[in-house]
Structure formats: structure tokens, C-alpha cells
Structure 1
């Protein structure tokens, strides 16, 4: 189902240009936290973006606590997929199980049939620790760069535009699609 923009999104109202290099990811990047109910519900918006722009890359950056960020990156390192992330969200949001310790990760793996030792090893790996620390420092970097970062979920498009939260999910989807298309239009207009 295509979305139609009733009024063209406006910089400063619907999105904010952010300094280059703060987020070096193409496509749509959701800054999220597993403990955020709005982030749990935001999965539906990301699904609609994927349906409308199947070639758009969808990225995620976990925030706020090192254990939750490490949980995300451990799942990514083992390529356990979106189903594993969904299970973390469901455990946290629906069953009130938090991910604070290595034992929490071990219990999660056991409950959901993942290899406990592999997940704990990834959780404690140097690479996962570095990614987690970089992720949880992102809000400070955004604020220090003068970007009004107000929490999760936050969406950044092509590392250039921070989408301001909208009360209406349809409007937010329209803004994200507009910004994705804006990049495509700039590519088409660029001299060879």
C-alpha cells in the first residue's frame, strides 16, 4: 500500500539535519532500547518501511545500558536474526525480564533454545563490548553536536536526518519515505 504525502515534510519541523559522521549508516537507523515500550511498538513502523522500500537498509543502535547493548550485539554477532531480537523485546516488555547480567543472557538462551555458551561468549567478547560502548555514547555525541536528542525510539535516515517523533505513525512513515526518496532524487540529479 503506497503512502502519499499530504504536505512535503519540512526541515526543523519534521526532521533535523545532523552533522555528517555521527551516524555512518545508510538507510533507516532506529535508535532504540529494549526496555522502551514505544520501541517495542515501533517494529510495526519499520516493517511498513521495509514493505514500501524493500531495498532500504534497516539498522538499529541499542542505547542506555551496556548489558542491553551487549545483548543486541551478541545476537547480531551470532546472526540469530530478528526473531531473537523480538524475543528479547517480548521477554522485557511482556514478561518483565531484564537483561542486566551474564546469567540473564544464559537464562534467555536456555528459555528460547539458543546455545548458551555461544551467546555468553559473544556477550563478553571484545568486539561486542566496543560496539556496545560506542552505542551507549551516541546520545552524548548527538547532544554535543547540537542535535536535540530526546530519547527512544529515534530514527535517522542515511546518517543525515533525524526524524522528529510524530503523534501519527502514518505521518512518521511518510517522512521517512520522503527522506529515503530525497537521497534517490539527489543521486539522479548529480552530474556524472
Structure 2
């Protein structure tokens, strides 16, 4: 156990975190959860990190800039993925929007713009036509977008997202999975051990999640050795 702790600490140094004391380390069942069964990942020697999110979700929209900066900081240490969650007919067009952008290789260019469409421009994007109109107005070829949107590939990704939500037991978002095994979120990471508790701002909760994610990436990487 002492060897594992030393290895974990050494791995975590690269992220600016080290568990100098057990009390300082995030606790399983408090700041993060461990799935009973490890999910398959295809990250090789890297650590897979997956965000479960939705475009309509205001907490996801506010988390995005901090998360993007965190992913950039990780560099080649992780493989980062996103899964747009399902939640009924009104969200399906947004979900298909995400996977269409991904299929067309436009996600990096339009991901934040899709958030802005809903949270700044106040567009509902709750129907196919609303999504098509937004895509065309944003400068995407309408015909190509519609073809991809209605493709079997996008439909398959929607079905896979539903399976992953079940496999990872996703019931709120944003939630982040690390290494196919560990789960945390701003709300989860902001949980404190028994004792005096203080109210945290959303920005503080987000930072807590990123700190726990540093810990979990280091833990997952150490366990690969």
C-alpha cells in the first residue's frame, strides 16, 4: 500500500497535486465514486477522460471554459471524449447536433458556438428545423449538415450514448468519467467530509472537480503500471 501511494504521488506531481496527507486526498464515495465494473476504454497507455454533458444545461455551459483549459493542460497524458446525454424528444435535436458536428469534423470550431446559441442567443434548438437553420446561419453547408444529421452513423452514436449513460450510471450532468472507472462532477467534488461545511460558489465547485480529476487521472495512470 505504501508503494502504491508513493507511485500515485509521483504520478500526480506532473499535475501539481500530491497527497501529502490522507486527509487531503479526495475520498471515494465522497468527492468521487468508483463504478462496480470497469468500462472498456481505447486509450492505450493514456487515461481516457469522458465528459457527459448537454447543450441545454447551463452548468455544462459554464463548466466548458475551465474544462477546455484543463484538457489542454493535460496534453498527451489523456484521451478526452464527450458524450451528449439523452433526455427525451426535446433534447434529441441538440444531441444529434453534437454528433453531426463531430461527424463533419467541425466540433472544435462550433462546440462553443452551439452553447452560445442556447445560452446567449436563447435559441431553443428543440426541433430538427431549428438546428438546421442555426447550422446554416453559422456558416455550415445546410445540405451536408442535414445528410450527416440523418445518417446511420449519427443515429448509432445516439444509441451508443444511451448505452454509455446506463453503463456509467449517469443521472446528472456535467459528470466526468476517468479511466472507465472513476466518476466525479462539480457537485460531487464539492462534497466535504463530515465536519464544518461552507457554501461554495459554482466556480469553486468547478475548480474542486478539476482538482479531483487531477487526482483521478494520476490514480488511473498509476494503476495501469
Distance 1:154 1:25, change over 3 A: farther
- 5+ residue gaps in structure 2? 1-14, 191-204
Secondary structure (helix, strand or coil) at the match of 1:53 reads helix
1:14–1:163 contact (8 Å) kept in structure 2: yes
Q: Which runs of 4+ in 1 moved over 3 A?
A: 2-6, 23-26, 136-143
Q: Normalising by structure 1, report the TM-score.
A: 0.84
- Picking from 102, 108, 125, the partner of 1:82 is 108
Q: How many Å apart are 1:45 and its aligned residue? A: 2.6
Structure 2 match to 1:173: 210
Over the aligned positions, Cα root-mean-square deviation in angstroms equals 2.2
Q: Does 1:47 align with 2:65?
A: no
Structure 1 match to 2:196: none
Q: How many Å apart are 1:25 and its aligned residue? A: 5.7
Deviations 1:55-100 (A, max 9, x none): 1222100012322211111000000032211111100111121223
Q: How many Å apart are 1:34 and its aligned residue? A: 0.3
Distance 1:50 1:95, change over 3 A: same
Distance 1:171 1:25, change over 3 A: farther
Q: Normalising by structure 2, report the TM-score.
A: 0.73
Q: Does 1:62 align with 2:91?
A: no
1:66–1:133 contact (8 Å) kept in structure 2: no
Q: How many Å apart are 1:141 and its aligned residue? A: 4.1
Give the length in aligned residue pairs.
Answer: 182
Q: Distance between the aligned counterparts of 1:49 and 1:182, measured in 2?
A: 17
Structure 2 match to 1:108: 134
Structure 2 match to 1:128: 154
Q: Does 1:20 align with 2:38?
A: yes
Distance 1:5 1:52, change over 3 A: farther
- 5+ residue gaps in structure 1? 144-148
Q: Distance between the aligned counterparts of 2:103 and 2:181, measured in 1?
A: 26
Of structures 1 and 2, the larger Rg is shown by 2
2:56–2:115 contact (8 Å) kept in structure 1: yes
Q: How many Å apart are 1:177 and its aligned residue? A: 0.9
Structure 2 match to 1:10: 27
